[in-house]
Structures are given as structure tokens and as C-alpha cells.
Amino acid sequence: MKQPMFLRLRKRLAVKPEALITMGDVCQIYWDGEREEAIKRMPIYRVKPQDGNLIIIDIMQVIQRLRSAYPEVELDIQGAPQLIVEVLNPKKNANPVLVVLVWLLLFVGSGLAIMNFHTDVSMLQVHQRIFYLITGQENKQPLWLQIPYSIGIGLGMILFFNHIFKKKINEEPSPLEVELFMYQQSLDQYYIQHENKENQRTKV
């Protein structure tokens, strides 16, 4: 009885510019325990400079390559139908000036946003009211309440993003990490749809 060859495409692959992508890079293979090593070394794609930094390798390319080498093979394909190859260009480091600029932007912007919020909800009146209810004294500027309050805002944000207790309490990701993951996943979906020429065909 003939053994089917099991193969499964990886999800993402990061390579250097002009790298030679082999079968072993793009998928996991299991066949009869002997010929896999040779198959894994089979080249499937050479990264060209004009490819940009994203390439999609479709399962059809892999099948074609395998069938041309082993016409008789029976394939059992698992997992996703395409793989995203990211070409790592060396000069992609953060520009320090830009970083400082963005830092200042966020700093000023978030400060403005919290002040807008406080005005919006009449936070000062509420503070004065709470101060009066607790102490029985009128105070136009209840700093005893307001300074801890301000520091508390910072603590609350850090708490929310889990940077003090990082990985100490549990393994769960912070909301920001989840959000980053979701964003990356949407991008990947977009690439798969738009960069893969086999996915779109206009017949006129």
C-alpha cells in the first residue's frame, strides 16, 4: 500500500533578502521516514529584489514542485493554504528622531486628552464636592485629593497594560499584546488576499 505524504504549511517565514527558500522552510513533511531530508532541501523559491518585503507562497506551488519530482506521490495536506514570507530588510531600524517626536506627540496628546476629559465631566467640582463631604471643609483646590488622584491615573494605566506584574501572576497576554496580534492577523489576511495573484482573476 502506498503511503501518503503528509505536509503542513507553516504560517509565517522570515528570510534574508535574496535567500533561497526550500521545501523544509515552508512546510513540515512526513512521508516514509527516509526521503524527507532530500525533499526538505528542494528549492522552491528564490527571493528577488523586486519582490518587496512580502511574498505569498501558495500551496499549489508546493504541490506542483512535489509532483514534478515525485509524480506518483499521494499528498495529504494539512493546515493553511498559503504562507506569508517576510523579507527582512537590514535598514529597517527605528529612526531615533522620529521616535522622540512620536514620544512627545503621545505625551502632549494624552495630557491634553485627560484635561479635556476632566473638564468634560467637571472633575474639579466633583473633587471639591467629595472633599467637602469627607472633611466638612470647603476647599477650592483640594490638592490632598488631587495629587494622589493624578499619580493614580498613571498607576492605573500601567496596571491595565500589565507592566509591573509582567508574566509574574499568569501567562495571559496583556490587552495590548492581544491588540497587536489582532492587527497583525488582519494585515496577514489582507496580504493573503491581495498579494497572491492566484486569488484574483478578472476575465474580460
Partner 1 sequence: MTIWIGLLLVIIGLGGGLAVGSGLVAFITVLDIIPRLTQLTNARRFIRAFEWSLVMGALFFTLIDFFHWRTRLPVFLTSIYGALAGVFIGTLAAGLTEVLNVFPILAKRIHMDGKLLYLLMAMVFGKVTGSLLQWFLRL
Q: Which residues bind partner 1 (CB under 8 A)?
A: 92-95, 98-99, 102-104, 106-115, 117-118, 124, 127, 129-137, 140-163, 165, 169-170, 172, 175-176, 179-180, 182-184
Question: Min. distance of Cβ 13 from partner 1 in angstroms?
Answer: 17
- Closer residue to partner 1, CB minimum distance, 33 or 136: 136
Query: Residue 52 Cβ, how far from partner 1 at the closest point, in Å?
Result: 16
Torsion angle defined by CA atoms of residues 176, 179, 183 and 188, in that order, rounded to the nearest 10 degrees:
100
Q: Which is nearer to partner 1, 33 or 90 (CB)?
A: 90
Residue 134 Cβ vs partner 1, minimum distance, rounded to whole Å = 5
Residue 14 CB, nearest approach to partner 1 (Å): 13
Helices and strands: H and E segment counts in the chain: 7, 8
Q: What are phi and psi of 106, to 5 degrees?
A: -65, -40
Nearer to partner 1, 15 or 124 (CB): 124
Indicate the length of the chain as a whole number: 204
Residue 15 CA to residue 100 CA, distance in Å, equals: 30
Rounded to 5 degrees, φ, ψ at 139 are -150, 120
